[in-house]
Structure formats: C-alpha cells, structure tokens
Amino acid sequence: MPEIVLATLNAKYVHAAFGLRYLMANLGDLQPRAAIREFDINQRVIDIVEAVLAENATIVGFGVYIWNVELTTKVIADLKRLRPKMTIVVGGPEVSFETDQQEICGLADYVVRGEADLAFAKLCETLLAGRRPLMGVIDAELPEFTQLALPYALYDEQDLKHRVMYVEASRGCPFKCEFCLSSLDVPVRNAPLDGFLEDMQRLLDRGAKQFKFVDRTFNLNLTISRRILEFFLERYTPGLFVHFEMIPDRLPEALRAIIAKFPAGALQFEVGIQSLNPEVESRISRRQDHDRLADNLTWLRDNTGVHVHADLIVGLPGEDLVSFGRGFDRLYAWRPQEIQVGILKRLRGAPIVRHDADWGMVYSPHAPYEILQTAHASFEDITAMRRFSRYWDLVANSGNFNRVTQLLLDCPSPFERFFAFSAWLYERTGHRTHGIGRGDLTEALRSYLIDNAQVSVERTDAAFKEDQRPRRKDLPKRQAQHAEISTLV
C-alpha cells in the first residue's frame, strides 16, 4: 500500500495528469512509497472517495485546477469526515492565489502554492519523519529545470495508446496579458534541450504519436523552437501529431522554412489572438502586431498543412459585441481552421480584476468564474455569445460542415450572419445547446440557408454533398482537447 497518493480529477480521460507525473518524478527516495491515482470530473464523488480510501495512504495530495475545484472540494470534505487523521495536501494554479478565501484550502492540512515539484517532496519527507510544519500554507520556491527530474518515463503503455502526451520545453511567459496567470510566471525557463529531446526520442521509440506542448510561448526562442521542429520533422511517420502554442506575430523565415516541410495534419498551432481592438489590447497589457498576424496566418493557410486553432475572448473590459464582431470578421478572413470563441474567466490571481470597478466587470462566483456582464456587454449579450460559441463548435469547428460553413458565411459580416443563425437555431431547437444530433443540425442548416440566407437549393445541396466526402485516411483526427493545462500541481 502506498504511503503517498498523488491524485487529481482530469477534465477527460484523455488528459493525462502532467503535474502529478512531475511530482512523482521528483519524489526521489520516496518514489517507491508513492502512487498516482487519476480520476475525472464525470465520476461520482463517492466512487472517488472509496478509491482513495482503499489505498489507506498517510498523505494524499490533490492537484486542483479551475475545472475540478468544486468536485475536489466535495471529495476532500468527505475524506476528512471519514479519515480525519489522513493528511491532505492541495496544490495547483487554482489554490496558489486567494488561498484564504477558498473552502478547499480550509479543509486541507497543507496548501503548496506555486510550482510544487520540489516543495511537495520536501513536505512529504518531513511528514513521514513524524514532524509537522508549523505553517499550513507553503510557498514553493521557483525551481530551475536543472533541479528537476523530467517525468516522461512515467507515461505508461495505456497513456501511450489512449492519451495525448503532454510535454514542455519551457515554463513561463514574457508577456503581461492581464487575463492570464502566465503573466505572473516569470522569468521564462528552458529545459536543457539535449536531455529533453532524448526523452522525446524515448517516447517515440515506445510508440507515442501525439505530443501536446504546454509551453505558453513555444516560438519565443527561435533557436530552441527550430531544433524541436527539426527533431520531429526528421522522425516523422504517418499519424504523428504535434501541438504548439505559438506567438502568432512571430514567425520569421527560418521557422517558416521548416514548418512548410511538415505533411498536412502533422502540426497544430494554437494562437491566442483574444482581441483585435487596439484600445482593449492596450487596456489588458497585450501587445501584438496586427499586420504580422494577418501575414502569418494567411501564409500558414496558403503554404502549409498546419491546422491553426485561433482564440478570441468575449467580455474583455471595454469591448462590446460590435467591436468583438469586427475582430471576429478580420480573423475569419485570415482563414484559420478553427476559431475558439471563449468567455472571459476570472482566474484567481490574474491582474485583470483591477478593471472590475471601472468597466463594470461582474463574474460568476462559481468555477470556471466566467464573466456575466460588463459595462459594454450586457448579461443578455454574454449569454447570446455563449450560445454562439457552442453552435460555432458544432458547425464550424467540428469539421463536419466545412463547405456549408463557407456558404453560410459568404456575406459582408460572417459574425452578424452566424449571430443571427445562432439566435434562430436556439429558437428552432426549443432553447437547446446540447443534445443536437448531426441529422437535426444538417436539417436546420439546410433550412436556414435556403429560407433565411436566400441560397439556392442547388448550391446548398452541392455544399452538403461536398462535406460528405470521406476524410483522407492519412490525416489524424483533429485534437479537440483545449482544456487549460498547467505544470503547477
């Protein structure tokens, strides 16, 4: 029986707990006395409690994130009722800030704030030696990569077969975007590249095919990013899929030359646009060059097989739907394969809260703490955009209606057209946003194109027929897992 259990509730089974593996890798001599136990947020609290208690561990550490904090709070509450002497430790981005305001922190015996890779091991060593730290809140010192054992050997065969491999070549971000916790995570620290690539080779040798880099700014250091891209290009085999989060206005010729060599479907770039309103960007301390954005995204679409996933945020301070719509139309014209329309979240510790009073920012007090209304976007506006986002995923981002989407949005303002369609679909489905089958959605799209958008029956049916063509077999399925990932535990 392990004395230490490392546990978390993943958003989905396919999300392997990267942070837990870092903790395990850095337990040192305690590693044989520890075990990783992963659950997901679709499981019942009582079943998770039963599984944890069955381990009969002395210390249980939970990784707490925005997507699992409410369920994890319930799990810990039950554990403390049933086994009050069990030591509960929590850590992760959700509990690294505003610690004194959270129920889960009050239930736990210890809270480790920050990057806990080394601090958790030290705490466990102290507790298992029979000593108890006086302070319940422990602030972890920021570790350098040279101090850390990398966790990649801890991915097991089931992970390799059924999960995405989360990896990182760096931590931190040099930018100060106020909605993001990475703005607090400085300086940028790079993993020793030779050792990192040796670990990537070992994963490839074991059959890994899908790699998701969690680096916030993968292409910040061009020397490092070039070498990593060259590494995967040289080892490409059909089915390899590598995801990077990129700085969208930083794509010099040296990177372009390598990127263009990858086969279609091998690379996915997640590019955080967030807003194209210069006043809003300045207000939230975000810097980006719009001309370079346009050039880079257009170049990627015209010259490469990269799948581009671009993000926009609804509800930023001072942005109304008219401004958001203008930004959406500009981004759509650059033709990324996916546009993720997200609702602003008030991440604990993020400095965007400084705008609350001046810009009428009202957030939900419940995770994931989404914006409810602002001085420039009413509750009704935000709610309508939440539906817009859901329907956009079903229609445009699903890959099932590519030609139909182009036909639907062949108009002066794609945003206005889809906003109108979203309102129409909401009424047609009886106010449903979930449980809409592909058949029902097909029928609704056809009806809207013909009756509302005034598209001919012939053009409409031709578009649906084109979308029914089979996918190329050599292209991997697109990755839809864009949950917020952090190496903090």
- What are the pLDDT digits (tens) for 103-124? 999 999 999 999 999 999 999 9
* Distance (Å, whole) CA 452 – CA 429: 16
* Distance (Å, whole) CA 316 – CA 346: 11
Residue 266 DSSP code = S
Q: Residue 473's pLDDT is what?
A: 42
* Distance (Å, whole) CA 129 – CA 389: 52
Q: Residue 183's pLDDT is what?
A: 65
Strand 137-139 relative to strand 110-113, pairing = parallel
Residue 345 DSSP code = B
* Distance (Å, whole) CA 416 – CA 422: 10
- Count CB neighbours of 60 within 10 A: 25
* Distance (Å, whole) CA 328 – CA 392: 12
- What are the pLDDT digits (tens) for 137-160? 999 999 999 999 999 999 999 999
* Distance (Å, whole) CA 145 – CA 190: 7
Q: Residue 210's pLDDT is what?
A: 94
Q: Residue 472's pLDDT is what?
A: 47
* Distance (Å, whole) CA 385 – CA 389: 6
CB-based burial of residue 299 (10 Å sphere; 0-12 exposed, 13-18 middle, 19+ buried)? Answer: middle
Q: What CATH architecture applies to the domain 4-145?
A: 3-Layer(aba) Sandwich (3.40)
Find where tokens 């609704």 sit.
Answer: 444
Question: Tens-digit pLDDT profile for the chain (489 aa)?
Answer: 899 999 999 999 999 999 999 999 999 999 999 999 999 999 999 999 999 999 999 999 999 999 999 999 999 999 999 999 999 999 999 999 999 999 999 999 999 999 999 999 999 999 999 999 989 999 999 999 999 999 999 999 999 999 989 999 999 888 889 999 876 766 789 999 999 999 999 999 999 999 999 998 899 999 999 999 999 999 999 999 999 999 989 999 999 999 999 999 999 999 999 999 999 999 999 999 999 999 999 999 999 999 999 999 999 999 999 999 999 999 999 999 999 999 999 999 999 999 999 999 999 999 999 999 999 999 999 999 999 999 999 999 999 999 999 999 999 999 999 999 999 999 999 999 999 999 999 999 999 999 999 999 999 999 999 999 765 444 444 444 433 333 333
* Distance (Å, whole) CA 368 – CA 385: 16
Q: Residue 187's pLDDT is what?
A: 79
Domains 4-145 and 164-377 share a fold: no
For the record, the structure tokens of 207 come out as 């059959």
User: Max CA-CA distance within the chain?
Assistant: 78
Domain boundaries, the chain: 4-145, 164-377, 400-470
Contact 471, 3 (CB under 8 A): no
Q: What CATH architecture applies to the domain 164-377?
A: Alpha-Beta Horseshoe (3.80)
Cis peptide bond N-terminal to 84, omega within 30: no
Find where tokens 């994130």 sit.
Answer: 65
CB-based burial of residue 434 (10 Å sphere; 0-12 exposed, 13-18 middle, 19+ buried)? Answer: exposed
